Structure 1
């Protein structure tokens, strides 16, 4: 009670601080901006200085500083601790608040960032509380107070910080739920054809596992190595990792390491100062600086020379570098996503790729299967690509069943890139609204499918006569070849329905046809409707 008498305005300031913090937490769209503003409120209203908000990264297993408005970036990004390590790590591991009357004499205080100086001349107290949502500890909120600013009520400060930490925990969890990828997940569960992650289509088990892995690691700060053959969509995965991460809305910068000569690569990565070389009329930022706060995608990283690998390793390890021709250390906060179609394990054994860099890049590895190993994805991929091509060309184009057979029969050495090129060539080279095998130009598979088309139509007409039931026409074009090998077609329809869980929209996508066309086949072969 005596404390309330001595500080009559303290309660009002605490209420005002909570009010202001609540406003910025719920109104700010960017999480780091919201957290920075909240910590600034503590300084302005209550004199709590050097506020930090650290979050746990389950992939790297580290607690890292996400927000610290009074720290410089080059200090903040050094604030990484293991659970149980230092004061912040101890608070996270135990889930208990902690007050340190004098951090200058506390052995657990590691000062990894180097922010706190002259603690003997200006002693400070340090307070930290866990940030929770439900029973899950998400991170740690810390502040400090100068002894010279007046008496400190540790109990009251910790109680206030615990209330604020509960609000912060709810905002951090809400950020995960508000992520744009959630809408795509819900659409996929409802049977919509859109990919679960932007631009990525996969219905088979192999790609589902890839998508789930990408979704798990997207929220992390960990470096990711995407491996796969040329044309499998490595840059799409890199962009999906960025868009599904807390860094979405910040820069995504890509660099093809194989497209530049070694003499230019260092300048492209790290930038250069004025006069660094002939023609350097002005200082220029490199890709690392341009990606600050966001994601840097290094494609074909396996093509880097050993000297370039050494410079890249240093930048990743220290998060610092110098521009070409410069002496000042530049610090950046960048997430690295690298990609390669090379066997880096073999390259390491051959002495062509540094083992230490390989370990730094492959904290998390995402392996993309070639298209020939996931043929079940071809119908959905073809539909997705045709939808994009239809929008680009201003007309609707669909895929006939014989064309789908030709696509499924092809081995696709160029993977998804080749599939798109084949479909694009077919769309621009014909005015037909329904693509046939003959339009695809896939060699023998296309020729066989095209040759079978008129024969199949003739057999069906002669067997059924004028009164035979015909499949539904789409856009005035009757589908040909539906009578060809009816036993095989029935098996394909039943198999597609089973794989799609008897959801007709999904089964139709697998077969490359419309739901109306699938319904006709369901009636034709007497497949039990109640199973849907």
Structure 2
């Protein structure tokens, strides 16, 4: 018995024959019956996605559309998310499959990519001929297959493609007009699924709103009883979430001491703000707070900036210059992006951190300073130490008290007060009186903000600057207009956006298919060896890393410069500095 005959419909009924009749009206009646069964299932489903396997079995039982598959874009942070081989997952199938298997084993990767990008249905009348024999799933090989794939759109934003619904039909079952009917049926099924998802989202949104109203009511009662807990505000740090409360508690405990602090967290979490808080809460608050961005300076300039230089120490040193360590004497020195300094400079920095002594560049007199070090990084220093890129002794010197700053997505209750703060700053700076409507705040509070607080501030300023009136509506936000960079980045598929720009309901013709397939896709190029090396802005490169890059580039200095993110002149200088002889190949 073949696979289609073993699959049963969701309503428990099986047509008399597993193969559709040859007459047109009979096939149309079966299609109508299938849509009716599918609509009934979606109407009562608490989770539409969980019912999709039953829906796919209905298509197999009524219309003999076999091996049906639903592929959805991966959610950020989940298994199979962006950056992996396939940025989509198989959400449902009409058959049993190994979940650990690659998605391309049940649906051709190139077909999925085309539908995601074009946003229109695709029909491949001979899958093996058009996309190669390997594109045909293993269980369907041995006979010709027609593939029909239609897009599944975002229920809230129809121009976003969230998934692909596809099914196969054997060449033995081909009749005139049957493929057109298959496209219409699958498109209707996708529309029913979109409507079910929209309804479920609205229910979830109403539930969240009810829970929020209940929380506010309880908070109001607590305030009236005199139990109001004021939001935490410490030197510009605002928030009342458990994550930020724990960080501030750690900060208050460690600030009065002289212990070095290492602030860790993603870019945009406000590491400099927390470093200033450590300084102002300490007994050094009357002393200077000096900041240095270690990633913005080359090794030579960084040494001069931190230690200073004597007059005539090098070309252009026309006068004595005090370094940041001298300027921070009696106060706090904030070393931002400390994970980016070179191995050579790490040894120089270690001495001053251990002994509090150093010499200016070009000088011989030893200077002694009393400086508290607060460092910050968004790198995995433990991994860098394991790979020999960061000195272990320096790591243990700066990482005495590590404080992990939570990303904004882990402290969502702080988004609203932060957004209001940024809006107030915008109004004060620009002499305006812009306000956010409730739906605008609601939309902002649901964002993940991968750029964290910095991205939130940019989002608020953009919305306030582009608003047509004094009230910013939810529809005016970038994410609601399809122009939010973060929202687009979540949907990047192998270097190209899956947002469809063609008319809904058109079937992809061979010419359209070729034009879509020929669009430049970064991931289709051979892997760039530069991904193996950290990008740098200077000639501050370790000897081993430089040799590795030169060998990867076949000892071509221009290519090695591209791999390292340097200029050919910087590579030539680094080769001369380390005494590396250029090989002739």
The TM-score, its normalising length taken from structure 1, stands at 0.47
The TM-score, its normalising length taken from structure 2, stands at 0.43
Structure possessing the higher relative contact order (Cα contacts under 8 Å, 6 or more residues apart)? 2
